[in-house]
Amino acid sequence: MSNFEINDSWLRDWAMRCGIMLIVAFLLPMVTPFKTFWFWHMIKAAPVGTLLLLGVGVACVALTTVAKDKLAGNRLAVVLLVLSLLPLLSGMGGSSNMATMGAMGRGGMPMAGGANFGAILLLLSLCSIAIGNHLSKVHTQDQYPRLMVGIGGIVLLVLMILPIAGRSPITMFFSGFMWSRGWPVLLILAGVIAYGVIAVMQFFKIRGDMSELLSLVARGLLVGVPAVALFYVLVGPIPFFSGLMMVLKMILTVYGIVLLFVTSLTAVIEYNVGSGNQGAETSS
């Protein structure tokens, strides 16, 4: 694999990718059997959340092109981190574009209460493992990356067991319906649990260095989630084009925000705790 440094070039490359993803997600229509919703419909339905996502995307692209000489180093990383947090905090309040898409598509995607709290914790635990694993490849002798991996893994496994948002996720493995109709979801859930288990094993040094295995599982999940969504589009009752547009819009939105958060927070930690100029092998 290629080597990258956690520096301005590495950070700007990822910010550009995330910004483009968010802008494309904003421009893509959401097609339902009843109507095609374009970005002006989204703005009318939820102006704050929709325009916020567009603003973050445009800001990322601007910071990596026309304004690349204005911010650098830790200041650039902090600004990008704040930009990534804005839609996450907006989503906690239920005003995100993702919630709007579900409502407009008659799917209903509530983002409040226990489900929202559990989703935020799940996201943070996954990000903690990814960031800690990435930094551990740079700072092999430091303890803080391994601590991030361990805390993220423990929280992730707890979330899989405790019924924070209603039913415990792990109980899905004991559902006959899930095994007959929802087995692709079970594959993703098994991958998430494996990610947490490997992270805990890495933390306690149970079987040597497992950072590459963690990266491999993370990449599998990043590919597997949209693959499962597209599978259900193919076999489900929703027209293919409608489902495809919905999946693309959702994946580009979520991945744009999450990857911006992960990369910017990684850079902030590196600039303030690490050396800020050591090479690291890319990981997810």
Q: Which residues contact 235 (CB under 8 A, 6 or more apart)?
A: none
Q: Is the pLDDT of residue 213 over 80?
A: yes
Q: Which residues contact 132 (CB under 8 A, 6 or more apart)?
A: 144, 145, 146, 147, 148, 149, 150, 152
Average pLDDT estimate for 192-211: 92
pLDDT of residue 14: 95
Name the band, by pLDDT with cuts 50, 70 and 90, for residue 162.
confident
Average pLDDT estimate for 149-167: 88
Q: Are 54 and 22 in contact (CB under 8 A)?
A: yes
Average pLDDT estimate for 109-134: 77
Q: Is the pLDDT of residue 280 over 80?
A: no
Q: In the Cβ-directed half-sphere of 274, how many Cα atoms lie within 13 Å?
A: 30
Q: Is the pLDDT of residue 39 over 50?
A: yes
Cα–Cα distance, 41 to 32 (Å, whole number):
13
pLDDT of residue 32: 78
Cα–Cα distance, 184 to 229 (Å, whole number):
9
Name the band, by pLDDT with cuts 50, 70 and 90, for residue 103.
very low
Average pLDDT estimate for 184-197: 96
Q: Please spell the DSSP secondary structure of 160-229, one letter per residue.
A: HHS-TTSS-GGGGGG-HHHHHH-HHHHHHHHHHHHHHHHHHHHHTTSSS--HHHHHHHHHHHHHHHHHHH
pLDDT of residue 157: 95
Give Dmax (Cα) for the chain: 58
Q: Is the pLDDT of residue 76 over 70?
A: yes
Average pLDDT, the chain: 84
* Of 217, 209, 215, 210, nearest in space to 193 by CA: 217
Q: Are 38 and 66 in contact (CB under 8 A)?
A: no
Percentage of the chain exceeding pLDDT 90 = 52
pLDDT of residue 100: 47
pLDDT of residue 252: 95
Cα–Cα distance, 51 to 14 (Å, whole number):
21
Q: Which residues contact 47 (CB under 8 A, 6 or more apart)?
A: none
Q: Are 176 and 241 in contact (CB under 8 A)?
A: no
User: What pTM does this model have?
Assistant: 0.84
Average pLDDT estimate for 2-27: 86
What tokens does 155 get?
Answer: 């929280």
Q: Is the pLDDT of residue 173 over 70?
A: yes
